[in-house]
Amino acid sequence: MKKYRRLMLIFLCMCFAAFCLSACKKSAETKADDAKETQVKETVESETKEKETAESEKETVSETEGSEESAIQSPSVCGSLSVEGTQLVGEHGEAVQLRGLSTHGIASFPQYVNEELFGEFRREWKANIIRLAMYTAEYGGYCTDGDKEYLKDLVRNGVEYATSQDMYVIVDWHILSDNNPNMHKDEAIDFFAQMSKEFSEHNNVIYEICNEPNGGTSWEEIKSYAQEVIPVIRANAPDAVILVGTPNWSQYVNEAAANPITGYENIMYTLHFYAATHTDDLRSTMTAAIDAGLPIFVSEYGICDASGNGNIDEAQANAWVQVLNQYNVSYIAWNISNKNETSAIIKSAVEKTSGFSWEDLSVSGQWLYQVLTNEKRSALETVAGPVQSSSLDTVTKSGDMEVVGTQVKHWESNGQQFYQYDLTVKNTSGQPCQSWAVDVKFNSDISLSDSWNGQYSAEGDTLHISSVDYNGNLSAGGSTGDVGFIVSGAAGLEIQTEE
């Protein structure tokens, strides 16, 4: 009996031990499972958090990009424009300032009417308007020997390219040598009737009906012309903004202010300036007209002189921009081309029609890029500012031509030294000449960066310059100015004086 009890006790002990071992194993497995579950949960939570962070960052970037886009006053943001008092406004009543670029004559430089370039101006230059300048009387002009259908197709293409890039666009009836807009009034009426009908569904098209009346054309004559053209546009585009030129190459806005066009809304009056010629007096004329209630639009300006060529005056250009921004006046720069003149934004040696680098731009182009983008990079200034010089260097060539060169500016950019010179070429012979050529020699080798009013080539330390068609004729003792260039070279670069 005792033996049986002992066996039973042993059996119970073994069962209890087995039960304990099983319980411990299950507890360990449970803990392991719990730990695994916790790890999985933490991994999922971590991945979810990372995903949410990435989404948040993506949204932030998207919002930033969207805010940059919305900061540009484009048709998708401001819609149809109108005029309230002196101010251009959007469809929600917000003040609008348009800033952009004008083509040169589209008959002469049609290659720059392309969508890729317009998109580049919109995205990289932050421009919100393009002006399509169609000359009326010059070579290839609409009213002279130009192909009317070809020119209208260029305008149509330009409007569509600007529209696709979310930009406003000006259709510019670019009178100049024809002086008085009434000279081709019938053609203007037909043109604007057709164009305004075709673009009647566009909310981004502005019509400029006479670029620069001149040659003594009075405000009364301009006003009479406008009163015949405006109704034609209004028949198809009842609310479109219309720009009217003013006397003396669109400078005498005071005369328009004293006797504005009545009976129509959304009319603005153009003022044009070139900073090296037009300074405080014209700025005062403009601000006085605005203060008197005249809505002004600067549909053309340059930072050189009124010829579209010659000296550049950044200080006056900056003074203009300050006043224009103060009054919230829209302004459009002349011109998109590689023409050999200082108002062109592209260097004359550059043949591409889009994808421009900093080095492809002229001094005017680099200045304009900075103004439109609000970047502070300057091609004409070092940290310490430009170095001015008034020293004169005289060079004679073959005993016939005398060149007086003035170093206007000297600056450093991207580790290079640049020098800007203005020249006066004088015929010192006793006979008139139909063309001229001079060599300007420096004290070391040079590279030509930009030039105007001449044909130029650099060879070692010598710059070869010859006349162009409009400045080659010099009487005996006569001279021509506004010839100039920018070269780069070693520090201390100077023109060598020849006796």
Residues annotated as catalytic are 212, 300
d(CA 89, CA 429): 61
Tokens read off for 19: 């039960």
Buried b (16+ CB within 10 A) or exposed e, 14-27: eeeeeeeeeeeeee
In the block, residue with structure tokens 């589209």: 106
d(CA 250, CA 300): 9
Report yes or no: 245 and 210 within 8 Å, Cβ to Cβ.
yes
- Distances in Å between the alpha carbon of 149 and those of 143, 152, 466? 12, 5, 38
Tokens read off for 255: 């005369």
How many CB atoms sit inside 10 A of residue 79's CB?
Answer: 15
Report yes or no: 474 and 436 within 8 Å, Cβ to Cβ.
yes
How many CB atoms sit inside 10 A of residue 482's CB?
Answer: 19
Strands 416-427 and 401-413: antiparallel
- Who's near 291: CB < 8 A, 6+ residues apart? none
